[in-house]
Amino acid sequence: MFDNVLIVCHANVCRSPAAEMLFKARQTRASHHRAAPIAFHSAGLRAVNGHAMDPVMRRLLEERGVTAGSHHARRLDRSLVRAADLVLVTERAQVSDVEALDPAARGKVYPLGKWEADSDVADPHGGPEDDYRESLVLIEHLVMGWLKKIC
């Protein structure tokens, strides 16, 4: 059983906070038999602590009825990895980056797209809004797939 799930991307301002917020918003639909909700968190491999969430992704989440809150980026460190029962990364290559940070994490780090042929979630940050929309649709689909597995 997973009680603490960490989602990781590059800067923790776009993809991983979007996934974190979608997990939090959608888990009640999937977790009928859990005694306590799963804690979802996010971090970035190269995040600058304190940076605000990407405003385009924030707006698109809110259009979907997901409150973005007051997210501020935080850089991934070994203590965050160790505290997590499951670590989900937005790109396959990030699995080895997380495991390099904490070799004890092997076996609990998976791509967010694991159930979709290990598909990567493209980073839309700084690109056209259509790229954000495409990434967000994929993230929500992948989040729902994970919720079916872990709740």
Domains of the chain, with CATH numbers?
4-150 (3.40.50.2300)
Q: What is the pLDDT of residue 104?
A: 96
| 58 is known as an active-site residue | no
Q: What is the pLDDT of residue 31?
A: 61
Grouped pLDDT means (10 residues each) for the chain, 151 residues: 96 98 86 79 97 97 92 97 98 97 97 92 97 98 95 87
Q: What is the pLDDT of residue 29?
A: 62
Written as one string, the DSSP assignment of the chain is: --SEEEEEESSSSSHHHHHHHHHHHHHHHH-TT-SSPPEEEEEETT--TTPBPPHHHHHHHHHTT---TT-B--B--HHHHHH-SEEEESSTHHHHHHHHH-GGGTTSEEETBTTTTTB-----TTS-HHHHHHHHHHHHHHHHHHHHHH-
Could you tell me the pTM of the whole model?
Answer: 0.95
Q: What is the pLDDT of residue 17?
A: 98
**Out of 97, 123, 131, 133, which one is annotated catalytic?**
123
Q: What is the pLDDT of residue 28?
A: 76
Q: What is the pLDDT of residue 36?
A: 83
**Out of 9, 54, 58, 102, which one is annotated catalytic?**
9
| 102 is known as an active-site residue | no
